[in-house]
A and B are shown apart, each in its own frame.
Chain A
Amino acid sequence: MLEYIKIFYVILKRDLTLIFREKTDLINSLVFFIIIILLFPLTFGLKSEILNTIISGIFWISALLATCLSLEAVFRSDFEDGSIEQLALSRYPLILLVSAKILAHWITFGIPIIITSLVLGIFLSLSSKIMMALFITLILGTPILSLLGSVMAVLTIGLRGGMLLSVLILPLSMPILIFSTIAIQNAASGQSIIAETYFLAGILILAITLAPIATASALRIRLS
């Protein structure tokens, strides 16, 4: 048991170091996120009515698109240089190792998105209720995106047609998007968001249990 925790930590540290060494992916994804969000007030004007109605969705759509961008980075370089095969051949369960990689992805891409959206929220003078709902939905939803996305990323590494990853992720993340935006809209009008929070939490638990298994099997399929 102890050595499982140790190996988890080792892989986590390895992936974090690798991503932070090559900061380009990180910065690209964040800048992309910020730019998409800023495009909306730019187009519609900062205080317009339209902006107020769609503000709940903007942050989530941008988070979704930015995550799509960043997901390829998780497994691609390892796949190309063969270290994934070494991981698959090791005597440690692949599910454990894959979970460490997914966690590394969330820490390096999900958490910055959460922080950035809170900053941007202040920038766009969102009310504190909206910011709270945004924070809760993002902190529950971005791990789900990382988990779900890593399955799709493994299924599509190295295939021709770069958009395939996004095409596969977006339909499956629609429920998350829908519930998050409903939560933010409810918060904006002062209602309770506990139902949507429970739903997102439920999906998160489901994803944490199932996604590593799916990613590990997908990895074995791709390596065969």
Chain B
Amino acid sequence: MKYSTTNVIHHGSKNMSLNNFLSMGGYAVYVWSAYSISFIVLFLNIIIAIRNEHKTLNEIKERLQNNKK
């Protein structure tokens, strides 16, 4: 990554407007598709993990109750 020469003087973001944020300087398709795919995958990871935990707990509970009968 080149040392960003145009921004040595600017203190912060040129990205101040919502418009700029959403369109990402014209690269919106790329940036937002990358971010959405990644977040979907990460999200699914967590959801499936939590669901597995509940499922295992319920299975064991059921098995114990069946054994008691």
Direct contact of A and B (CB under 8 A): no
- Chain A residues with CB under 8 Å of chain B are none
- Chain B residues with CB under 8 Å of chain A are none
